[in-house]
Amino acid sequence: MSGIKVAPGAAARIGVAADHGGYDLKEYLAGKLRAAGHEVIDFGDGQPKAEDDYPDFIVPLARAVAGGRVIRGVGICGSGVGATVAANKVAGVRACLIHECFSAHQGVEDDNLNMMCLGGLVVGQALAWELVTIFLNARFSGAERHCRRLAKVRELEKTPMIPTT
């Protein structure tokens, strides 16, 4: 299992998606990513609409991450919580709500995160860009204990949920 497949500082294909609560931050980050030389695949929303629903944009991004169409993803909604919940329903996605620097790299290094979620109404542009940069530059350690834990997570994705009632 590997992390992002580009050398540090090299360009990569990055997916972004947001609902109305994350639209402005998505646009800002997409511009910064392009300026840094990355190819950005935008899964929407194309314009902020109060009636849009985060799963409509986050799930296609998560599927692209899981399928390898993009190397990493950045999903944004108002708080980042809904985007995280929706992304993690897609098998093969390891998404986390990131609002501070430690988790932006540690989540990749230990848990091989391939998608980060942000709160567009919670995190400012400068911090968001710092977090995305840290996330993209982090690499999975490949340590045996982390691989063992991730294998258990993959098994969970294969196991059908059995009602307890």
What does the pLDDT read at residue 113?
97
Residues 6 or more apart whose CB falls under 8 angstroms from that of 140 comprise: 1, 2, 3, 108, 109, 112, 146
Look at residue 165 and tell me if it is in a domain.
no
Look at residue 3 and tell me if it is in a domain.
no
Q: 53 preceded by cis ω (within 30°)?
A: no
Domain CATH for 107: 3.40.1400.10
Q: In what order do the strands lie in the sheet with 115-119?
A: 39-42, 13-18, 72-77, 115-119, 95-97
Look at residue 133 and tell me if it is in a domain.
yes
Is residue 77 part of the annotated active site? The answer reads yes
What does the pLDDT read at residue 61?
98
- Alpha carbon distance 97, 165 (integer Å): 31
Catalytic residue, candidates 77, 96, 101, 117: 77
- Alpha carbon distance 27, 1 (integer Å): 31
Look at residue 1 and tell me if it is in a domain.
no
Domain count, the chain: 1
Look at residue 8 and tell me if it is in a domain.
no
For residue range 93-114, list pLDDT tens digits in order.
999 999 999 999 999 999 999 9
Look at residue 97 and tell me if it is in a domain.
yes
What does the pLDDT read at residue 30?
98
Q: Which residues constitute the domain of residue 81?
A: 13-158
Q: Which two tokens stand for residue 4?
A: 């992002």
Look at residue 164 and tell me if it is in a domain.
no
For residue range 69-80, list pLDDT tens digits in order.
999 999 999 999
Look at residue 113 and tell me if it is in a domain.
yes
For residue range 41-56, list pLDDT tens digits in order.
999 998 888 899 999 9
